[in-house]
Amino acid sequence: MKLYSDGVNYYLTIHQNRKDLPYLIMFHGFMGSGQSFDPLIQLLNPFCNPVTIDLIGHGRTGGPENPIRYSVEKQIFDIRSILDRIKLSPLIIYGYSMGGRLVLNLLSEISNYFHGVILESTTCGIKNPDERKKRAGIDENRVREIEKNFAAFLDKWMTLPLFSNINRSSFALENYNKVMRSQNPLLLAASLRGFGTGNMESVCNRLSSIDHRVLLIAGNKDSKFVRIHRKMDQLLPDSNSIEIDEAGHRVHLDQPVKFINAIKKYINQLQL
């Protein structure tokens, strides 16, 4: 379905609507879309109702080329508006990478909308202003590469250590690559300028106020985000940080069965 918010048509899919099961809304990462999770839907159906959404500037959701429209404040407004209309409960929110950063910002504003929180390979931001400025420079260089030659940027992106040296299902990997190559590079550039890690204010100091049980999932081969999650785990009042063997940054792609089992265990332990 399409849901209009402040000039943008968001694309959302409720894959199953069993009233005896909780809903799991899934936020993808940069250059992803709801279709990134297609290989997981059948695995999720037995214990939850999966809901996928294409975030602004990604997939089948539109967006302007103005980075201001991608600010965290405007995205929170959009998601609140959408959730108010679809009215799904109980609702668990999951975010991967960029989607996880958005989830952490949503929790600061509309935490009462959710009954559980799952974060995969994400960060609460960069607290040090100098380090954040440095990251903003890296993001801007990536924007210029996207604008200049998107295909070449993708080829380079897919060889990053975060995504390499993992045995993956060929179907799942082909699906992921298809999703990335179908993106609009101008909207990706606007997204990275408006909501890149370097342009996002850190929300690490807000983690102590999150009153949900939080599941943190990282791949054991993704040492950077293993460290980040361990720090976040110390700041969160009620959390569990797990590391999945033989997985990198995209745990849900690298080890889908282990990933699904972790989510199932978490949901079954919630008081819903």
Reading phi first (left if > 0) and then psi (alpha if -120 to 50, else beta), residue 20 is in alpha
Nearest to 171 by CA among 266, 42, 80: 42
Check residue 173 and give its pLDDT: 77
Check residue 103 and give its pLDDT: 97
**Which stretch, 43-47, 63-67, 244-248, has highest mean pLDDT?**
43-47
Residue bearing tokens 């101008």 = 186
Q: Domains plus CATH for the chain?
A: 2-269 (3.40.50.1820)
pLDDT digits (tens, 9 = 90+) for 93-150: 999 999 999 999 999 889 999 999 999 999 999 988 889 999 999 999 999 999 999 9
Provide the Cα torsion 51, 260, 58, 14; round to 10°.
Answer: -10
| Across 77-94, average pLDDT | 96
Residue type, 69: R
Check residue 91 and give its pLDDT: 97
Higher pLDDT, 258 or 158: 258
pLDDT digits (tens, 9 = 90+) for 157-206: 888 777 765 656 666 778 888 899 999 999 999 999 999 998 888 999 99
Q: Please list, in sequence order, all residues whose beta carbon lies within 8 angstroms of the beta carbon of residue 188, skipping any fewer than 6 positions away.
A: 30, 31, 57, 58, 146, 150
Per-residue HEC secondary structure of the chain comes to CEEEECCEEEEEEECCCCCCCCEEEEECCCCCCHHHHHHHHHHHCCCCEEEEEECCCCCCCCCCCCHHHHCHHHHHHHHHHHHHHHCCCCEEEEEECHHHHHHHHHHHHHHHHCCEEEEECCCCCCCCHHHHHHHHHHHHHHHHHHHHCHHHHHHHHCCCHHHCCCCCCHHHHHHHHHHHHCCCHHHHHHHHHHHCHHHCCCCHHHHHHCCCCEEEEEECCCHHHHHHHHHHHHHCCCEEEEEECCCCCCHHHHCHHHHHHHHHHHHHHCCC
Q: Is the pLDDT of residue 230 over 80?
A: yes
